[in-house]
Amino acid sequence: MADLVLAGESLSRADAMRILRADDDQLLAILDAAYRVRREYFGKTVQLYYLKNAKSGLCPEDCNYCSQSRISEAPIEKYAMLNAERLLDGARKAAESKARTYCIVASGRGPSDREVDHVANVVRQIKDQYGLHICCCLGLLKPEQALKLKAAGVDRVNHNLNTSERYHEEICTTHTFKDRLETLDICRSAGLELCAGMIVGMGEVHEDVVDVAIKLSELNVESIPINFLNSIEGTPLQAVRELDPRFCLKVLAMFRLTNPKAELRIAGGREVNLRSMQTMGLYPANSMFVSDYLTTPGQKAEEDFRMISDLGFQITAGDYESSKLLDLWNTPHTKSCAAETPGSGSCCG
């Protein structure tokens, strides 16, 4: 399969299905094929991103997986859009750390015109002062809103498909799959780069996962985050736990082979679902979130850095927070004993 993809051919639906249905005995061969493609376009680099909500909770949608939806009973922090001062302060820190990307993420169905004006005004100032790459995740957008964001200097918009068109009504009824596609089309027409992915493990079947991979290939998205459901107490999907690490790796490999040139990011649920096999996920994927997610905790950043270093891969920080954590990791520490104890978190255990 790798030879076919590297020759510029598209992976067929049948081959994509074959990957997901493959026996576990074939897993290493599948990962090898995916890594050959990953290495061709991204080498051994791993791009790190740090998620931070600019607006949390307060969402009127009924997405069954989400702790921020109106039907969720999860105890999360809720707050309105951060003011300009706090957003600009984050951009300043990003620039000081020589980060390339600054992300503005907000919960909700979609932004009000006032919120778009607010973000646009802040982005203009960020561009004027720091020239950073800007990514926004604001929900469903109108054409005039996307154009306003583009004109202000926003480079990329994140808007996930989350699942297939067939299965969408099973996880959300307050907006449609076509609504999500429309926002992606609107953003592309406005000249914005696209970041779009899915959540695996919500009760969908293999065909749904392949449908999303092929649709994203057709949309030619620049970046694909793959979330593996982390069932959150207080949401309708709190009892759903159907994934195993081996299947998660097959999913990542399938997305790499169907979208060879796209940045492929291991997103939410990595620690819960890949568990001891997290490291292997970076053979098909070239990007991951570091530390915590929007409303759920991740493993310690130091553990992520050590995991990547052990692979022999090169860490590239993608934003201020992950860059700051990486700098701390790379700073030499004075040790009070001759060598670290194997398996310990510090030289003295």
Please check whether residue 67 lies inside any domain of the structure.
yes
Contact present, 264 and 226 (Cβ < 8 Å): yes
Please check whether residue 347 lies inside any domain of the structure.
no
Task: List, in sequence order, every beta strand (DSSP E) within the chain.
Answer: 45-49, 53-55, 101-106, 133-137, 156-158, 193-195, 198-200, 223-228, 263-266, 287-289, 314-317
Of 296, 269, 287, nearest to 77 by C-alpha is: 296
H or E stretch covering 90? helix 84-96
More confident residue, 342 or 319: 319
Over residues 183-217, the pLDDT tens digits come to 999 999 999 999 999 999 999 999 999 999 999 99
pLDDT at position 329 over 80: no
Please check whether residue 26 lies inside any domain of the structure.
yes
Question: Could you give the number of structural domains in the chain?
Answer: 1
Mean pLDDT, the chain, integer: 87
Please check whether residue 349 lies inside any domain of the structure.
no
Using a pLDDT cut of 90, give the percent of the chain over it. Answer: 60
Please check whether residue 48 lies inside any domain of the structure.
yes
Can you give the pLDDT at residue 66?
85
Please check whether residue 286 lies inside any domain of the structure.
yes
Please check whether residue 336 lies inside any domain of the structure.
no
Please check whether residue 83 lies inside any domain of the structure.
yes
What is the CATH classification number for the domain harbouring 207? 3.20.20.70
Domain containing 290: what range?
A: 2-330
